[in-house]
Every structure is written in C-alpha cells, then in structure tokens.
Amino acid sequence: MSEAYVRRGPMVWNAGDDPREYLTTLYIRFLQGFLNQTPQDHEFHWEPSPELSKVLIRGDVLDREYVEKFPSIVVVLGPLQSMGLVIDNFVRGNLFSGDRYHTDLLSGALACYAIAGNEAMASRLGHYISHGTVAMRRLLESPEGFHRIARPGAFVNQPSPPGALVSGNPESLVMVQVSVPFEYQFFWRNTEVAKPQDRGLERITKYPRAADYPYETPPRTQDVTLQVRQGANRYRAVGSRFRLDPFTDDTGDGNRTVHRVSLRRK
C-alpha cells in the first residue's frame, strides 16, 4: 500500500550564510531528486522514507548499521578557492546610502563517496552520480545555482575500502569516490557604519567591544528646493534620477513672481 508524504519545504539561504552548507545541501537534494525519478523497482531508487528507499544519501558520517542494509552516498565539500574577480571584487555602489556590492568566484570540488556491498554495485552507483551530474548540469547551473559544474566532466576513482567514513571499517563494503569540480559565484553587500573620516582601526582597537564604537548616521540629501526668477535667462532641465514636483508661489509685491521647483528622488 502506498503512503503519502509531505513535500519538503524550500531551501532558505541568506547572503550572509556559509556557502559551503548551501552548496552541499543543494547537491544532496539534486542527487535525491535525480534518483527519486528512477522507477520504484530500480536498485538505487530514493524515497524520503528510509523504509521505502533503496539508497541513503547524506552529507555526514554514516553508521555501520545503515550501510550494511543498502547502498549509500556521502557528499563532502572540499576546500574552496577564491578567484578574486575584478578590482576589490567590486560590482556597483550606491552613492546615496554608501552601500557597496561585491562578488567573487569560488572554485572547489564535491567529493561523493559511493558505498556498497560489492565492487560492481559501488561502481554502478558512482557512474550514476557522475553521469547524472553531467547530464543534468544545466539544471544545476540555473540562477542561484552553480556557475559551472562538472565541466568538462567528473572524475571517478577506482574502487577502494571506505576507510574512516564508516565506523568499524567493515571489510565487505567497497567505496568509489567521484570528484565533481564546480565554480560558484558568491555575492555580498557592505554597508557603511561610520562617517568617512571616522573609518579606521580605532573602531576595533579603541573600545573593548566594537559595538560600543560611536556611530553617527552620515547626512544625506533628501529634498532640494530651487528658486527660479523670471527674466531674460533661459533654463534647461536635464535628465536625472529625480522627478520635478513644481508649485507656484506668488509674492504679490508687484515686481516679480518666484517659481519654486522641488526636486524629490524617484
């Protein structure tokens, strides 16, 4: 008898979170979804319920009792190398708020350990990992995903003992390592927290707590009011990021009429 399961919630990730955790979770969910689309009688069919799933996909160390029951995949993210895009990783800035937007390209590799009870099954599971990633890499390179992955391809190692990944190191288990290279474009924003003349090392050395540094909001221009007098001079309006909000104020002195134009940000 079939059972209904509640769908998993969407991945929630903020710009300040660790990209390692985001990328590992993203790739684990990809493998789970890829093997979930296989027929239910497939040897590596994945289901959210451990009772119905024929393969276990995780991102941490496995216990011996799990891997002895069915094949398993362990995903581990290796070191990340910053590529140092453009000067100061700068993308754009906001002159009104002082915010600066930066980006960088992180290069690394995902190590996927396919563990099974014999060499043939571990090799087949490693093939599904490598070939599935290459075949579906355009999906993984979608917006908010990887910049590049498995290009030109994934590297599949020869079968070897699982080693420290499985506690107890059972001799009957065989492991195949699949290395998936990738690049990920990472963005962040810097917000000014002090006036330009107050930015210095004193912010972190003068006080025991950096949060005690006296912060003053820098002055910002909100509204600009212009007075235009009638006369022989001509004025030309040029395009800008402001909108014209005109109104007329008659002085009533019989000599001149003053027209005031208020400039407000769009």
pLDDT tens-digit map of 4-42? 343 455 556 555 578 888 899 999 999 999 999 999 999
Q: How confident is the model at residue 220 (pLDDT cuts 50, 70, 90)?
A: low
Q: What is the pLDDT of residue 16?
A: 56
All domains of the chain in start order, with CATH: 19-190 (3.30.2000), 223-265 (no CATH)
Residue 246 phi, psi dihedral angles, 5° rounding: -80, 150
- How many other C-beta atoms lie within 10 A of the C-beta of residue 214? 9
Cβ neighbourhood burial of 252 (10 Å; 0-12, 13-18, 19+): exposed
Tokens matching residue 95: 């002159």
Antiparallel, parallel or unpaired: β 56-58 and 72-77: parallel
- Cα–Cα dist 168/186, whole Å: 39
Indicate the pLDDT class of residue 2, thresholds 50, 70 and 90: very low
Q: Each residue of 88-133: pLDDT tens digit?
A: 888 888 877 778 888 889 999 999 999 988 889 999 999 999 999 9
pLDDT one-digit tens code per residue, 137-189: 999 999 889 999 999 989 999 887 655 455 555 567 888 999 999 999 888 88
In this predicted structure, which of 109-118, 190-199, 239-248 has the lowest mean pLDDT?
Answer: 239-248
Cβ atoms 198, 206 nearer than 8 A: no
Q: Residue 247: what pLDDT?
A: 46
Ranges of beta strands (E only) in 46-133 are 56-58, 72-77, 81-82, 90-93, 100-116
173 compared with 220, residue with greater pLDDT: 173
Would the pLDDT of 232 be above 80?
no
